[in-house]
Amino acid sequence: MRAVIQRVTRADVSVNHEVVGSIQQGLLVFLGIQFDDRSEDADWLIKKIIDLRVFEDFAGKMNRSVMDIEGDVLVISQFTLYGNLKKGTRPSFNRAAPPDVAAPLYEMFIEKLSNEMGKAVPSGVFGALMYIDAMHEGPVTLMLDTRQKDF
């Protein structure tokens, strides 16, 4: 699994001009699922996301997690995180999991993250054309990959 994580003061996702997920201060997570990802990948990634110290403490240092600030997380599926441009300029997505594999892992990820946070985690709609509106803070953007843990 691969995630792009952005610190936001607010974010929402719309499908067919209807907001389907919305958060205030917290993390906007774009989640890509690789064809051979498993539950263990979700567990590792969730732990990293909720423990990321990217929010400022009283001294102005990034020393607090989304849990520390009682923030929210919005999860958006994004297979394009596995886009490969080795040949030419048209991306290949052959490493991304097909929808019948990725959709259940995406739903499982959201459920496990909700359990860890102790509250519902809003999300986009898997496979839908989505519009994301976010107010980035910082900006702070990080990438995590369960196969390349030093990414």
Choose the catalytic residue: 79, 109, 126, 146: 79
Evaluate whether residue 137 is within a structural domain. Answer: yes
Looking at residue 151, its pLDDT comes to 64
- Angle formed by the axes of helices 39-51 and 99-117, nearest 10°: 40
Q: Which of 35, 80, 141, 151 is catalytic?
A: 80
Told to judge if 34 belongs to the known catalytic residues of this protein, a careful annotator would answer no
- What pLDDT sits at residue 148? 85
80 catalytically annotated: yes
pLDDT tens digits, one per residue of 95-114: 999 999 999 999 999 999 99
DSSP tag of 34: B
Separation CA 24–CA 71 (nearest Å)? 7
> Average per-residue pLDDT in the chain?
96
pTM above 0.75, yes or no: yes
Residue 105: give its domain's CATH number. 3.50.80.10
Instruction: Tell me the percentage of the chain whose pLDDT exceeds 90.
Output: 90
**Residue 150 lies inside a defined structural domain of this protein:** no
Question: How does residue 69 score in pLDDT terms, banded at 50, 70 and 90?
Answer: very high
Residue 41 is assigned to a structural domain of this protein? yes
Give me the pLDDT at residue 149, please: 79
Residue range(s) defining the domain that contains residue 42: 2-145
Q: What is the token pair recorded at 67?
A: 């849990």
- In this predicted model, what pLDDT tens digit does every residue of 127-138 receive, in sequence order? 999 999 999 999
Is residue 108 one of the residues assigned to a domain? yes
In the annotation, is 78 catalytic? yes
The catalytic position among 78, 109, 126, 146 is 78
- Report the pLDDT value the prediction gives residue 114, as an integer from 0 to 100: 98
- Residue-wise burial string across 100-123, b where 16 or more C-beta atoms lie within 10 A, e elsewhere: eebeebbeebbebbbebbeeebbb
* Residue 54 belongs to some domain of the structure: yes
Mean pLDDT of 60-64: 96
pLDDT per residue over 109-121, tens digit each?
999 999 999 999 9
Is 151 inside a domain boundary?
no
How many domains does one find in the chain? 1
Within a domain: 132: yes
